[in-house]
Amino acid sequence: MRFVFKTSYAQDIQLFRDRMDAFWYVLLAAAVALLPVVMSEYYVGETTWVFIYAICGVSLMVLVGYTGLISLGHAAFLGIGAYAHAFFIKHGVPWVAAVALAVVITTACGIIVGLPALRMSGIYLAIATLAFATIIQEVFSRWESVTHGFAGMPVEKPVIFGVSFAHDTAFYYLCLFFLVVSLWLTRNLLRAPTGRAWVAIRDSEIAAQSMGVNIAIYKSMAFAYSAALMGLAGALFAHKIAYLAPDIFTILLSIQLLLLVIVGGLGSLHGAVFGAIFVALLPPVIAILRDSIPATLSSVAGATGLSLFGAIGEGVGAFLRKPGVEAGIFGLILVLVILLEPLGMYGRWMKIRVYFSTFPMYKRATFKRQKTYMRSERLR
Amino acid sequence: MTLNGLAVGCIYGLVALGFVLIYKATELVNFAQGDLLMLGAFVAYMAVVWWGLDYWVGFAIAVVVIAVFGALLDATVLRRVIGQPQFAVVMLTIGLGAMFRTFASVTWGSEIYTLPTPFSGVWTVGGVTLSHQYLSIVAGTLVLCGALYGFFTHTRIGVAMQATSQNQLAAYYMGIPVKLIFSLIWAISAGVATVAGILLAPVTLIDINMGLAVALKAFAAAVLGGFGSIPGALVGGIIIGLIELYAGATLPEGFKDTAPYIVLLLMLAVRPQGLFGTLGRKKV
Amino acid sequence: MSFFKVDQLSINFGGIKAVDGVSFDVDKGSVFTIIGPNGAGKTTIFNLVSRIYEPSGGRLVFEGNDITHVPPHRVAKLGIARTFQNIELFEHASLLQNLLLARHAHKQSSFFSELLFLPSVRRMEVEHREAVEKVIDFLDLQQYRESLIVNLPYGVRKVTELARALCTNPKLLLLDEPSSGLNVEETEDMAFWIQDIKNLLGITVLMVEHDMKLVSAVSDRVLALNYGRPLAQGSPQEVQSHPEVVRAYLGG
């Protein structure tokens, strides 16, 4: 077991817990930076999705995991950011300014949507954001002078100060850069009074208020900041997907983003990244399994002479090829995570770490959940 | 034309009623309600078209099957999350809904089906034509609501359900089997969704996404009426149905689908407790 | 001019007068206790003072300023802190985080300086930490500093509530049933702490309490309430032997 000796108050607000931690993060950063050298272009592209989803995850984590506000409409912010960015670069605005404008616009939308959030919580907020997202989606498909409606809107490749980021590897580094910046900024907020105020609102609004937190301001701030990050992610998303259409930014995407933060683990920034890895890589993994399972099993059948294996393989392959199966698998995972591991992948990761650091003294009871009794949320 | 709005509104009201029943009793918000409706319509379709049963027999089979399914769902999955943060529950039911849709698309495919009904004619009263289809929806809603009202006020189980939704612990101490009551409420709610699905089937036709759109509007209806109020859910549903119809007829294209949500957002901003709801405050 | 003055305070909940024309003065540096049977309106008075409820009549005057209509989050900045009867801690945060949040009223950093974690923010954070550590030392909470509140026993949570209120640097401290749920030993500790808060820190205390031993040990003045109306006011002994109070508690 490793002990951290604390000798000054400043130590508790460092970016990294100690030198050891910093070392590991630097190593991780180096590994991620070197990945494109060893990976094929296809995987570089898929990993870029991880970074973009991770920015979305950080955005939603601030709102859902730290401030305790539910949003079922975050895809709308992503869409606003994506369309705004694409619109501005199409009209010759420089890339950096276009991103800035996209962020400003989504932030403004975030504040507007956040306004009703000041008076309601829980389920009402979920439904209000759902309504907002539905309206925005309709706007995307009807406001054809800007969004080109269902005809779709092609997005130009990013060119920043004359440097083209059109190549997949270049774009990979661009997204990585923005992810690291978002993580750093968010971490800063979370270790400062603002982050504490958000957590306080999540756990007890009334106590937070009595300790001097202006609930209205901090809730709007959480919404605005979350929307701003979503706008940034939207700009990158637009380049990555290259062709914008209204039916990308549906409620299903919002739900997928929520799945991301839940599977990753609510209330931790690590969780946002873990969840992004999961959400971005699951579809390609399913695609690989779809082809490899029947192939493997039929070769097993060939080798053993048991045609049963071949049949099973065919069945699984056929099942995975049916439309809509992916959504069902996401649903199943969501249900299992909520029932079995409410802290998500980050929670599991913590348990594994504790297991090894206390080996062989690990006891399951450390993480045993206390029995919770029904606590009414009607009166929150 | 008002009849059409009224009829669609009744469907929204019925689905909203399902939300409210479950919410009142267990404080769970069931985002899979629309998918239960879809499953119900599919089961009825199977019974009537594939097995060639009578419409009413198919109707009954669907209601019973989905009601039992709802009760099982409660007993196996949802009971485990009572008392957990509402957010977890919302996501859980969203996940379940996605699974139901996948199940439906794997089982029945993504084609669009038509359920034949015995209601096909029209009545002409004073120059106004009333189609039997829409009349059947309104009549079905009225009958169902009357039956539910009678059930909740005049039977032992109904009264026990009301007691449970007021105070679970007290109900438990009075010897009411709270767990069984929860399952029953899920069964009723799923059954109501099925009825709504079958009544709606001739209007929107049956496909795997039919529940999603209805559920979203029904949410708006439930909130409009004040989440937790049963008459509110019905009135809210009818209001949403009428708004949708008149917005589609009089406003530019695109407002038909968004007008209910715009009204909802305005409502939430002005009177978040809805038309019939009350807004509580946490006691400290 | 009195330190804290409550003047003809009233509130109705749907026709029921939960608090009906209650007046009292709290002197600087004293411990003032409100007693009364359940439902007498004690906690309601606290909720009115911390501005969670809007009074239907009367005035609240703190240090000569009318605070009847200030928004609830301003109350802490004025120097009034409170604890909650049923514990309203931030459960999924560490004890330290809970106490640091209480420094919120003294926050000076802007959003953008926090976003970049400028040196000024770092300096303020260390200052807040020092203030919090003083309270931790005062209430002997060192060993729980890093624990999450959900993992702490009830007694410690109760002390944490007190610590959190003290971290706001209050002039007036509202304690809502500080001894409820505590065992005899913990209640004695609480009595010592309340005396220390009054004598060492010079903080005025307004308290709601049921435990009469604790009340007579620490209070300078006591107000007895029943059905939202004042019954008697005076020293602990006077109030305890007042015939109306005896009747309210014993019935009859």
Q: Which tens digits make up the pLDDT trace of A143-167?
A: 888 888 888 888 888 888 888 888 8
Same domain, C58 and C175: yes
Is there a domain that residue A335 lies in?
no
Please tell me which residue, A76 or A360, carries the higher pLDDT value: A76
ipTM: 0.89
- pLDDT for residue B284: 53
Helix B2-26 to helix B210-225 angle (10° resolution) is 80
C86, part of any domain: no
Residue B127 pLDDT greater than 80, yes or no: no
Chains near A, with 3+ CB pairs < 8 A? B, C
pLDDT at A379 over 50: no
Has residue C122 been placed in a domain?
yes
**Band (B77; pLDDT cuts 50, 70, 90):** confident
- Mean of the pLDDT values across residues B172-184? 81
**Mean pLDDT value of segment B112-131:** 72
Predicted pLDDT at A174? 94
Please check whether residue B184 lies inside any domain of the structure. Answer: yes
Using a CB–CB cutoff of 8 Å, tell me whether A8 touches chain B. no
CA distance C241 to A110: 60
- Does some domain include residue A321? no
Spatial separation of the C-alpha atoms in residues C251 and C246, rounded to whole Å:
8
- Cβ of residue A328 closer than 8 Å to a chain B Cβ: yes
pLDDT higher for B204 or A210?
A210
**Over 50: is that where the pLDDT of A377 sits?**
no
Task: Give the bridge partners for B136, in sequence order.
Answer: none
The verdict on residue B256 lying in a domain is no
Residue B118: what pLDDT? 72
B254 in a structural domain: no
The answer to whether residues C159 and C127 belong to one domain is yes
Last-in-domain residue among C109, C136, C167: C167
| C54 and C19 share one domain | yes
Residue C38 sits in the same domain as residue C96: no
pLDDT at site A370: 46
B49 located within any domain: yes
Residue A47 has pLDDT above 80, yes or no: yes
For residue C82, give the chain B residue with the closest CA.
B284
Distances in Å between the Cα of A232 and the Cα atoms of A23, A83, A178, A246, C133 are 29, 11, 8, 18, 39
Angstroms from C4 CA to nearest CA on chain A: 18
Distances from the Cα of B269 to the Cα of A137, A160, B199, B262, B272, angstroms = 21, 42, 33, 11, 6
Cβ-based contacts of A124 with chain B (< 8 Å):
223, 227, 268, 272
Strands across the sheet with C31-35, in order? C80-82, C172-176, C204-208, C31-35, C221-226, C229-234
pLDDT band at B121 (very low <50, low <70, confident <90, very high): low
Residue with tokens 């039997």: B132
Beta strand C229-234 pairing with C16-26: unpaired
Tell me which of C70, C75, C101 to substitute to probe the interface with A (most A C-beta atoms closer than 10 Å): C101
Confirm whether C85 is domain-assigned: no
C102: distance to nearest CA of chain A, Å? Answer: 5
C-alpha count within 13 angstroms, C-beta hemisphere, residue B122: 9
Q: Yes or no: say if C95 and C145 are a contact pair by the CB < 8 Å rule.
A: yes
pLDDT band at C195 (very low <50, low <70, confident <90, very high): very high
pLDDT band at A373 (very low <50, low <70, confident <90, very high): very low
Interface test with C, best of A6, A211, A220, A343 (most C CBs within 10 A): A211
Kindly state whether residue C84 falls inside one of the protein's structural domains: no
Is residue A375 pLDDT above 50, yes or no? no
Return d(Cα A107, Cα B130) in angstroms, integer.
50
In a domain, A89, yes or no: yes
Hey, is the C-beta of B279 within 8 angstroms of any chain C C-beta?
no
Of A165-174, B118-127, B235-244, C82-91, the poorest mean pLDDT is in B118-127
Neighbours of chain B (3+ CB pairs under 8 A): A, C
pLDDT at A364: 62
Which residue of chain A has the CA closest to B252? A142
Counted across chains A and B, CB pairs separated by less than 8 A come out at 150
Per-residue pLDDT averaged across C77-100, rounded?
90
More confident residue, A244 or B165: A244
> Chain B contacts of A325, Cβ < 8 Å?
102, 105-106
At A345, the pLDDT band (50, 70, 90 cuts) reads confident
Distance from CA of A72 to the nearest CA of B (A): 10
Asked whether the beta carbons of residue A203 and residue C75 sit closer than 8 angstroms, the reply is no
Residue A311 is predicted with a pLDDT of 76
Instruction: Report residue C100's pLDDT band, with 50, 70 and 90 as the boundaries.
Output: very high
pLDDT per residue over A166-200, tens digit each?
A: 888 899 999 999 999 999 999 999 999 999 999 99
pLDDT of residue A236: 95
End of a domain among C133, C167, C201? C167
> HEC profile for chain A?
CCCCCCCCHHHHHCCCCCHHHHHHHHHHHHHHHHHHHHCCHHHHHHHHHHHHHHHHHHHHHHHHHHCCCCCCCHHHHHHHHHHHHHHHHHCCCCHHHHHHHHHHHHHHHHHHHHHHHCCCCHHHHHHHHHHHHHHHHHHHHHCHHHHCHHHCEECCCCEECCEECCCHHHHHHHHHHHHHHHHHHHHHHHCCHHHHHHHHHHHCHHHHHHCCCCHHHHHHHHHHHHHHHHHHHHHHHHHHHCEECHHHCCHHHHHHHHHHHHHHCCCCHHHHHHHHHHHHHHHHHHHHHHHHHHHHHHHHHHHHCCHHHHHHHHHHHHHHHCCCHHHHHHHHHHHHHHHHCCCHHHHHHHHHHHHHHCCCCCCHHHHCCCCCCCCCCCCC
Tell me what the mean pLDDT of segment B116-125 comes to.
Answer: 71
Contact check, Cβ <8 Å, B92/A334: yes
Range of the domain at A61: 19-250
Instruction: Provide the token pair at A177.
Output: 């850069």
Nearest Cβ partner for A204 among C90, C107, C115: C90
Task: State the residue range of the domain holding B125.
Answer: 2-209
Average pLDDT over residues B13-41: 85
Which residues of chain C neighbour A203 with C-beta distances below 8 Å?
Answer: 89-93
pLDDT for residue A9 is more than 70: yes
Which of the residues A61, A266, A320, A338 would you substitute to probe the B interface, choosing the one with the greatest number of B C-beta atoms within 10 Å?
A: A338
Contact (Cβ atoms closer than 8 angstroms) between residue B119 and residue B136: yes
Tell me which residue range forms the domain holding C140. Answer: 91-167
For chain B, give the mean pLDDT: 81
At which residue do the structure tokens 């005025």 appear? C204
Interface B-C, measured as beta-carbon pairs within 8 A, has a size of 8
First to last CA, chain C: 39
Q: Is residue A70 part of a domain?
A: yes
Cα separations (Å) of C175 from A197, B17, C84? 22, 44, 7
Could you tell me if C221 and C233 are in contact, meaning their C-beta atoms sit under 8 angstroms apart? yes
Distance from CA of B283 to the nearest CA of C (A): 9
Residue B86, domain member (yes or no): yes
Residue A349 has pLDDT above 50, yes or no: yes
Test B219 with A127 for CB contact under 8 angstroms.
Answer: yes
B11 has pLDDT over 70: yes
Average of per-residue pLDDT across A335-355:
79
A290 pLDDT higher than 50: yes
Searching chain C, which residue's CA lies closest to the CA of residue A218?
C111
Residues of chain C in contact with residue B278, where contact means CB-CB under 8 angstroms, are none
Closest-CA distance of chain A to residue B106, Å: 7
Longest dimension (CA), chain C: 66
Answer yes or no: is B83 within a domain. yes
pLDDT score recorded for residue A378: 41
Domain count, chain B: 1
Distance CA B259, CA A308 (A): 55
Once rounded to an integer, what is the mean pLDDT over residues A92-103? 94
Let me know if residue C239 belongs to a domain.
yes
Q: Which residue of A has its CA nearest to B80?
A: A339
Structure confidence at residue C106 (pLDDT): 87
Name which of B230, B220, B209 is nearest B258 in CA terms. Answer: B220
Residue-level pLDDT at A371: 41
- Give yes or no: residues C163 and C180 share one domain: no
pLDDT score, position C34? 93
Contact list, C88 vs chain B (CB under 8 Å) = 284
Domain count, chain C: 2
C170: left (phi over 0), alpha (psi -120 to 50) or beta: beta
Whose tokens are 């917005």? That residue is B247
Per-residue confidence at B144, pLDDT binned at 50, 70, 90? confident
pLDDT of residue C61: 92
Number of domains within chain A: 1
Confidence check: pLDDT of A354 > 60: yes
Q: Answer yes or no: is pLDDT of A286 > 70.
A: yes
- Chain B contact for C52 (CB, 8 A cutoff): yes
Q: Min CA distance, B132 vs chain A (Å)?
A: 32
Identify whether residues C23 and C124 lie together within a single domain. no
Mind listing the pLDDT tens digit for each residue in B223-264? Answer: 888 777 778 888 888 888 888 888 877 877 777 778 888 888
Q: Which residues from A are below 8 Å from C when comparing CB atoms?
A: 9-10, 12-13, 185, 188-189, 191-194, 196-197, 199-200, 202-204, 206-215, 221, 267, 370
- In eight-state DSSP terms, residue B173 is H
For residues C97-103, give the mean pLDDT. 92
Task: Kindly list the residues from chain C whose CB atom is less than 8 angstroms away from the CB atom of residue B284.
Answer: 43, 47, 52, 84-86, 88, 176
> What is the pLDDT at residue A183?
94
CA distance C220 to C233: 11
Nearest to C50 by CA among C228, C195, C173, C226: C173
* The pair of three-digit structure tokens given for residue A178, joined into one six-digit string: 């923005």
- Taking contacts as CB-CB distances below 8 angstroms, the residues of chain A near C121 are 192
Contact criterion met (CB below 8 Å) for C82 and C165 = yes
Q: How many CA atoms lie within 13 A of B239 on its CB side?
A: 22
Confidence class for position B153, pLDDT limits 50, 70, 90: confident
pLDDT one-digit tens code per residue, B104-113: 888 887 778 8
